[in-house]
Chains A and B, each alone.
Chain A
Amino acid sequence: MKVLICTPLYPPDIEPCALYTQELARRLAETHEVTVLTYGLLPEPTERVQIIGVNKEYVLPVRLARYAQKLFTLSRGADAIIVENGPSVEFPVLLVALFFGMRSIFHESDVRAQTVRERNPVHTFVHTLVRERSSAHLFGKLPERPEIMPFEEPPTSLQAVYESEWTTHLAEVNGLLKTYA
């Protein structure tokens, strides 16, 4: 299956949602053909994942328009689209959805973006529309990779929890992909 993941952040950004998206892409790429559309000229290469970046240096309207343009092109060839929340992705997604009928799986994972959105009525309005037009929703806390620290025992039990969380999460994502592709 050809899966397109739309995300505002991707490594080298260090926010949890950037790290999560990279891990999701890496894991989905084991069984799917995965493309990531993100912001940034030099996203971190990820094995078996095609990554398309939109220059963040453009002024906001140009940046959003470029993202929407690339999203439109990429969405034509995708079997399923996963959208990570955040206004810089939700605006272009809404545009493409309104004009070209694109459907997606909407994943609300970025807590910070949610907090910022709550202070901005325009963001809230766009967010609501994107949610309404999406085929499915995903919520929930992102699994966070435990760090391996010097002077400490390897965090084997935390790593096991992390892997187990990912197994559950990936099964949920794959289930939605099959249903809504």
Chain B
Amino acid sequence: MHSGASQKKWEEYVLEEMAAVRPILEKHSIELDEEQPHVIGERAVMRAVTTQSGEKLVLVGHMSPPGIQVIVKTTSDARGRKELEHEKKAKALLTKLRFAYDVFFTPKELIFVTSGGRSVAIYEFIEQEKPFTDRPLEEQFRFALNAFKAQESAHATTAKHTRLIKGVFDTYNAADYCDRFQEFKKTILEFDPSYENLLAEVQNQLESDRETIDRYGRFLVHTDFVPHNFRIKGDVFYLLDFSSLRFGNKYEGWARFLNFMTLYNPSLEDALTQYVARNRSSGEQESLRLMRFYRLAELAAFYVGTLPRADDALKTLNAARVSFWLLVLETILKGQALPESIRSEYQRLRDSLRSDDEKQRQKGLH
């Protein structure tokens, strides 16, 4: 465990929340499991990069009868409650959108309770045969591509579409991406001013290509599309965390996924990049490149933001993460591939700095 005030505060928060939610769960014959993999390790300091990031707990439990495993999301935090309610509304609306041709599979919501300033959402647990990253490369590619195509089938283009999604989904256009990038740049430069030239060059490309970003805009995107946010059972792909859905550039989700795979599975990153290069227009390829810049700067800024809360080894690790992801940004800007030596050197450093709890949390996460 990480020492320090942040960790202690988190542990107290977890105990209080679990004590508060237990009576509600008991009414629905749900008992929390002894082991709670989603509250340990770096979870004390990290929050999701892109969701509304309220305080909430994700817990594992069992409902009996019928004796099934369930996922419990609980929060008494105002932003956390907003996030849960947003997820509920998003799920409901997506099934009604006539312009979304492909239906997403998502774990069934079993119970949603609001009581005494607390929201609790209980979902069925989707048991998967094996984690995504343990599947053969061809299978990973097929599942990822089909999921992207399903997202792309929802394209909000008319005034009627805009009215339908308003109030439920955020919509990002080029101006929003550029404004957010400016914030990321400011955060990163406060941490390390030596990135000034790199970030200025990227910002210049984003600004001068606003039209390309907007041309492929208004598509449904899952902004945190990484393996821990989906599960595969049989041949069915379940998308989790609907609070990360918004309408924006169609390659925003691709970008998050490809950046993730730069570290975890470069062969998959390469296969998806090749797919776009061979089957999609030059404008779309450029759009993907710009979104990768945006998401990498976002990731680096996110880790900078965790530094004041992190202690000891985690602080060193997160500073290394900032450097690593900005190096990835630089190599993509130069049109190069990340050297394997840099990737493995970073992985070695990361593994040496990760706590035992975090190593435990990472097992089966992807």
Contact = CB atoms under 8 A, between A and B. Distances in A.
B215 A12 contact: yes
Nearest to A45: B283
Q: Which of B141, B158, B271, B281 has the most chain A CB atoms inside 10 A of its CB?
A: B158
Contacts of A59: 159
Contact of B157 (A11, A13, A45): A13
Contacts of A12: 155, 215-216, 250, 283-284
Interface in B45-98: none
Contacts of B262: none
Contacts of A11: 281
A150 B274 CA distance: 7
A40 B275 contact: no
Contacts, number: 48
Contact of A58 (B152, B159, B275, B278): B159
A148 B278 contact: yes
Interface in A36-60: 39-40, 42, 44-45, 56-60
Contact of B155 (A14, A44, A60, A150): A14
Interface string B129-161: 000000001100100000000001101011110
A44 B283 contact: yes
A181 to B, nearest CB: 30
B211 interface: yes
A51 to B, nearest CB: 12
Contacts of A44: 215, 281, 283
Q: Is the interface of B mostly helix, strand, loop or mixed?
A: helix
Contacts of A42: 211, 214-215
Interface in B246-289: 250, 270-271, 274-275, 278-279, 281, 283-284
Nearest to A147: B279
Contacts of A139: none
B155 A151 contact: no
A42 B281 CA distance: 14
A58 B281 CA distance: 27
B174 to A, nearest CB: 10
A12 B250 CA distance: 10
B159 A57 contact: yes
A45 B216 CA distance: 12
Contacts of B152: 14
Contacts of A40: 157
B64 to A, nearest CB: 44
Nearest to B145: A149
B310 to A, nearest CB: 38
Interface string B9-34: 00000000000000000000000000
B279 A148 contact: yes
B254 to A, nearest CB: 14
B331 interface: no
B3 interface: no
Contacts of B215: 12, 42, 44
Interface string A45-81: 1000000000011111001000000000000000000
B269 to A, nearest CB: 11
Nearest to B272: A150
Contacts of B155: 12-14
A160 B66 CA distance: 55
Contacts of B279: 147-148
Contacts of B158: 56-57, 63
B162 interface: yes
Contacts of B283: 12, 44-45
Contacts of B160: 60
B216 to A, nearest CB: 5
B252 to A, nearest CB: 14
Contact of A56 (B137, B157, B211): B157
Nearest to A150: B271
Interface string A147-166: 11111000000000000000
A39 B161 CA distance: 14
Given A12-B215, A42-B211, A45-B283, A151 B271 contact: yes
A148 B270 CA distance: 14
A56 B158 CA distance: 5
Contacts of A148: 275, 278-279
A74 B211 CA distance: 25
Q: Which of B152, B211, B281 has the most chain A CB atoms inside 10 A of its CB?
A: B281
Interface string B297-319: 00000000000000000000000
B159 A150 contact: no
18 contacts: A12-B215, A12-B284, A39-B157, A40-B157, A42-B215, A44-B215, A45-B283, A56-B159, A57-B159, A60-B160, A63-B158, A147-B278, A147-B279, A149-B275, A150-B271, A150-B275, A151-B137, A151-B138
Given A12-B215, A12-B283, 17 more contacts: A12-B216, A12-B284, A13-B157, A14-B152, A40-B157, A44-B215, A44-B281, A44-B283, A56-B157, A59-B159, A60-B159, A60-B160, A63-B158, A148-B279, A150-B270, A150-B271, A150-B274
